[in-house]
């Protein structure tokens, strides 16, 4: 793997300021008033965020080189694909709490902003650990293979907010209203500060992303260990998560085989991380490597096949007459 190009602190600051400006424009202008996000609007925003991410990746070629640009695109695709599973869980959370459609974007906005901070801390910790203890890559690889196999054979248990320790702690220290207070997270009951159900939803979305980040962040370390590439690809994937939710939430049932595809992605990425360890013990595999371009192609093919088969099976079920 080529050495990392040093990233000047001003580049980090400039990127963070740029992202914060985009978020301020999003919430302060385009979504200043709570409203139901239509499919057409979600599609437009999805295309816009993906185009922006692609433009950023292309911009890396003259500044950091083709390899960094390819690593960014591969990492972005991995993070976006693994975010799809997160989308389905968020849909279950909104359904459980019966969150009105017009308030969902606000929850996702603040939830994703908090997720960026958490992921930034996790990425920084991961980069330090891998640079100091290279064997951590093998730990991450084994964890991803295990997670992929588990995802393939274990059914979802659904959403159980009553088991969430963060929500239990919040209810212990703050009263919670029984009804939504518009799009507000905080209110007052008898002069005392209280949480609204929307605040509980936000806490649950944050903890859900933290759980999914335990899979997605180790996965990108198989592509690169460059902090700037990992962070920027994660940020762009998170920016597109909101529009991706409104685009896919209504068609969850149509993607029945996507979970299998995501599990195969995790297994492939974990195996790629473990390959040097295995090759050192198996002479037949000595010198075998998997390039970033090959990884990008494999991940893309797995996702396209799983989505394509899901759509074909959904159409077949629609055409099939109901059984007696």
pLDDT digits (tens, 9 = 90+) for 200-252: 888 888 888 887 787 778 888 888 888 899 999 999 988 888 888 887 766 66
Secondary structure of 123-172 in HEC code, one letter for each residue: HHHHHHHHHHCCCHHHHHHHHHHHHHHHHHHCCCCCCCHHHCHHHHHHHH
pLDDT confidence of residue 31: 65
| Cα 266 from Cα 269, distance rounded (Å) | 5
CB atoms inside a 10 Å sphere around CB 38: 11
pLDDT confidence of residue 282: 80
Q: How many CA atoms lie within 13 A of 178 on its CB side?
A: 0
Q: CB neighbours of 318 closer than 8 A, spacing ≥ 6?
A: none
Residues in the chain, total:
324
pLDDT confidence of residue 122: 86
| Cα 83 from Cα 53, distance rounded (Å) | 15
pLDDT confidence of residue 253: 61
Which token pair is 269?
């990425």
Look at the alpha carbons of 172, 174, 175, 180 in this order and tell me if their dihedral is positive or negative.
negative
| Cα 269 from Cα 263, distance rounded (Å) | 10
Which token pair is 207?
């903890």
pLDDT confidence of residue 54: 93
| Cα 209 from Cα 251, distance rounded (Å) | 21
pLDDT digits (tens, 9 = 90+) for 36-78: 777 788 888 888 899 999 999 999 999 998 999 999 999 999 8
Look at the alpha carbons of 306, 139, 64, 118 in this order and tell me if their dihedral is positive or negative.
positive
pLDDT confidence of residue 229: 92
* Domain spans, the chain: 9-319
Look at the alpha carbons of 168, 173, 177, 181 in this order and tell me if their dihedral is positive or negative.
negative
- Residues of the chain short of pLDDT 70, as ranges, are 1-5, 27-32, 34-35, 155-162, 249-254, 320-324
pLDDT confidence of residue 191: 76
């Amino acid at each position: 793997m080529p050495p990392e190009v040093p990233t000047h602190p001003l580049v980090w600051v400039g990127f963070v300021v740029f992202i914060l400006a985009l978020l301020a424009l999003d919430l302060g202008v385009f979504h200043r008033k709570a409203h139901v996000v239509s499919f057409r609007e979600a599609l437009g925003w999805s295309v816009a965020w993906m185009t922006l991410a692609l433009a950023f990746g292309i911009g890396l070629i003259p500044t950091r080189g083709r390899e960094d640009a390819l690593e960014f695109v591969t990492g972005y695709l991995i993070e976006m694909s693994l975010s799809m599973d997160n989308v389905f869980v968020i849909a279950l959370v909104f359904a459980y709490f019966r969150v009105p459609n017009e308030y969902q974007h606000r929850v996702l906005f603040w939830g994703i902003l908090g997720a960026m901070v958490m992921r930034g801390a996790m990425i920084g910790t991961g980069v330090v650990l891998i640079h100091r203890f290279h064997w951590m890559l093998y730990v991450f690889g084994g964890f991803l293979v295990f997670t992929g196999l588990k995802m393939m054979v274990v059914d979802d248990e659904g959403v159980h907010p009553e088991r969430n320790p963060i929500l239990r702690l919040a209810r212990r220290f703050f009263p919670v209203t029984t009804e939504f207070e518009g799009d507000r997270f905080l209110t007052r009951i008898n002069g005392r500060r209280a949480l609204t159900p929307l605040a509980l939803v936000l806490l649950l979305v944050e903890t859900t992303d933290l759980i999914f980040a335990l899979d997605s962040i180790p996965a990108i370390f198989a592509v690169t260990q460059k902090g700037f590439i990992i962070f920027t690809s994660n940020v762009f994937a998170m920016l597109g998560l909101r529009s991706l939710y409104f685009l896919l939430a209504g068609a969850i049932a149509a993607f029945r085989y996507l979970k299998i595809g995501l599990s195969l992605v995790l297994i492939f990425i974990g195996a790629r991380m473990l390959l040097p360890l295995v090759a050192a013990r198996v002479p037949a595999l000595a010198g075998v490597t998997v390039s970033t371009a090959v990884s990008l192609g494999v991940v893309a093919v797995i996702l396209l096949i799983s989505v394509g088969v899901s759509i074909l099976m959904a159409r077949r079920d629609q055409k099939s007459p109901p059984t007696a």
